[in-house]
Structure 1
Amino acid sequence: MSVKREYRGISQRARSLLSNPEGIDVDFKRESNGIKSRDLVSFANSAQGGAILVGVDEYTSDDGLQRGRIVGCDVDDSARLSLINKATDCYPIVEIELIVENISRKPFFRIEIPSGSKRPYCTQRGEYSIRADARSRALFPEELLAMFMDREGELFLSRFREAVTQLEHRLGVMDHAFGNGMLQLVSHLDELDGQVRRTLNRVDQMTDSAKKRSRNMLQAVRDSQDSIAGLEALLIAQNGNPAGRLEMMRDIRTRLDQLTENLNQTGPDE
């Protein structure tokens, strides 16, 4: 409930209401006990809301128009509490603003009832009503259905917006985590690339060393072949035909030839 306000005189708002007859946005009540929860519900269910002046009687002016005349009413705490209780008895609770006017002379209440954000409203007895012209009437089924659909639609949109907000937040968190994961992956790939490069360099170094050893071995074998060939010729020249030694030398030469051939096939070209 809004905090009550008081005016020693009559506010501009109250003067404007008094200068018009009862209608869709204003009602006059002589006493506070003349207000029912149904009256509050009617204004809360209306699209523009309205006001009730308590302590004001309706009369017909000389020009035949109906206007409000201030007669005054009790504005003590008991009267205020009674009005507030009638608002809280509605479902949902009807929000009202309670103002005391004209305290210095004939005080009266001005009850401002805005159009409710939780329509439709009803009384404890389940009465759904709305303001129509200068009276309150029951809501038609299609009007009641439309209000329920509007309220549920707003509730759905509110929940949908909340769900979208939460989803966007979660996507942001996931995107941040994904970005961090990609950075870590790139870092790991860079590290792996460096390791591969270092390994290849070592392999190249090992290959160069192996090639060098193969060339040295091949040269040694060829040198041995030349030495054996010279030794074989020397034996033949000095001893005629030393069959046993000569056969042994030829066997050694054959094996050296096979070794040389294998080295030429697997080793580097000279």
Structure 2
Amino acid sequence: MTDDTREPTNSELLSAGESQLVDYKRNSGGVSMDDFVAFANTETGGYILVGIDEAEDDTGKQIGVPVGSRIDDGVIVGLQNKALECIPPVAASISTEVIDGISFIRIRVVPGANKPYSTRKGVYCLRDGRRNRPLLPNELLEIFLENEVGVFQSRFRESTQSIIENMSEMERSLSATIDNMTSQLMLSDMTLDDTESLLQALNAGVRQLRIPVERTAERVRHIYLVDQRSDPIDARLKEQLVKEIHEYLRGNPETAERLSSAENFSMQVAAKYSSNFSVDELTAICSEAVRNFSTITEE
């Protein structure tokens, strides 16, 4: 009927008959929320022509014939309300057209950006050929999943852009610190006081670098928390902690034997673990590591 670069003409919509793209209505009362929802849930959207009857041409092909329809502010507002009362609201443009002196209404339903759309009663429809049909459960699930993926990708792009900016800030800060260190190290008459001053400057530089690093790490963790995904950093730390416990138990078999039969025990772990896991989480990881080690040993 048309290409993707222009809107179809009224003549094209009438001569093509009802299809995936167009639906005819005798009057405005025949237009329902189902019609708006069905077209909005497609990739192309569609057209509803009000004041058009179905007929056949000389070859028996279905066409649309203008018969006219009542057109006033009340009719137009009523059609707009039907589109806006869909969930979420459907975008539609409504215009008055005239062919051979007969007026009718042309409604352009835009393909929705927030699929799936439903009526106020929770009915999900899809335009399928010349008719509207209910969306099947698997089709609904696919649409929901596609939307979630799109939301995650958008959020991830925004977050990664912030991370890139933070990394650039870290790079500039590091470069400035190195330049400052180089300038001070080039002083040949450095005294003990100068050395102490340099060390203080280095410590201050390191503290400044820790701030953007911690902010970046926090942003990465927030991404995984919001999207309910496991944090790969914590997963690697847990794996490393379990490995270290197993290595220690292999070198201390007597301790391993005592722990395997003990109901309660305590372990001292490195600061990098205690700063990433709570006490309860560390207790669970250590207990699991000891149990796994006992199982491996028995095998």
TM-score (ref. length: structure 1): 0.65
- Residues 156-167 of structure 1 mapped to structure 2, 5 A cutoff: 156-167=152-163
CA distance in 2: counterparts of 1:75 and 1:12, whole angstroms: 22
The answer to whether residue 166 in structure 2 is matched with residue 170 in structure 1 is: yes
Identical aligned residues as a percent: 37
| Match of residue 102 from structure 1 | 98
CA distance in 2: counterparts of 1:55 and 1:46, whole angstroms: 24
From 192, 195, 201, the equivalent of 2:190 is 195
Mind listing any 5+ residue stretches in structure 2 that lack a counterpart? 1-6, 195-299
| Match of residue 64 from structure 2 | 68
CA distance in 1: counterparts of 2:30 and 2:11, whole angstroms: 22
The answer to whether residue 81 in structure 2 is matched with residue 85 in structure 1 is: yes
From 1, 13, 27, the equivalent of 2:23 is 27
| Match of residue 120 from structure 2 | 124
What's the offset of the Cα at 1:99?
2.0
| Match of residue 145 from structure 2 | 149
1:17-63: CA deviations, max 9, x gaps? 00011111110011112111111000011122211111111112232
Letter in 2 for 1:155: V
Instruction: Report if aligned partners of 2:66, 2:99 keep a CA contact under 8 Å in 1.
Output: no
Runs of 4+ residues deviating >6 angstroms: none
Structure with larger RCO (C-alpha < 8 A, sep 6+): 1
Letter in 2 for 1:118: N
What's the offset of the Cα at 1:79?
1.4
Please report the RMSD computed on the Cα atoms of aligned residues, expressed in angstroms: 2.1
- Residues 45-64 of structure 1 mapped to structure 2, 5 A cutoff: 45-64=41-60
SS in 1 for 2:149: helix
Letter in 2 for 1:28: Y
Identify if the C-alpha distance between structure 1 residues 68 and 179 changes in structure 2 by more than 3 Å, giving closer, same or farther.
same
Letter in 1 for 2:11: R
CA distance in 2: counterparts of 1:145 and 1:35, whole angstroms: 27
Letter in 2 for 1:49: G
CA distance in 2: counterparts of 1:173 and 1:187, whole angstroms: 21
CA distance in 1: counterparts of 2:20 and 2:142, whole angstroms: 20
CA distance in 1: counterparts of 2:50 and 2:189, whole angstroms: 89
Letter in 2 for 1:195: M
| Match of residue 40 from structure 2 | 44
What's the offset of the Cα at 1:168?
0.7
CA distance in 2: counterparts of 1:75 and 1:174, whole angstroms: 65
What's the offset of the Cα at 1:147?
0.6
Larger radius of gyration: 1
SS in 2 for 1:94: coil
The answer to whether residue 20 in structure 2 is matched with residue 15 in structure 1 is: no
CA distance in 2: counterparts of 1:136 and 1:154, whole angstroms: 26
Letter in 2 for 1:16: E
The answer to whether residue 113 in structure 2 is matched with residue 113 in structure 1 is: no
CA distance in 2: counterparts of 1:119 and 1:108, whole angstroms: 29
TM-score (ref. length: structure 2): 0.59
**Matched residues, number:** 187
Comparing 137-146 with 108-117, greater Cα deviation is found at: 108-117
Instruction: Report if aligned partners of 2:14, 2:65 keep a CA contact under 8 Å in 1.
Output: yes
Identify if the C-alpha distance between structure 1 residues 88 and 188 changes in structure 2 by more than 3 Å, giving closer, same or farther.
same
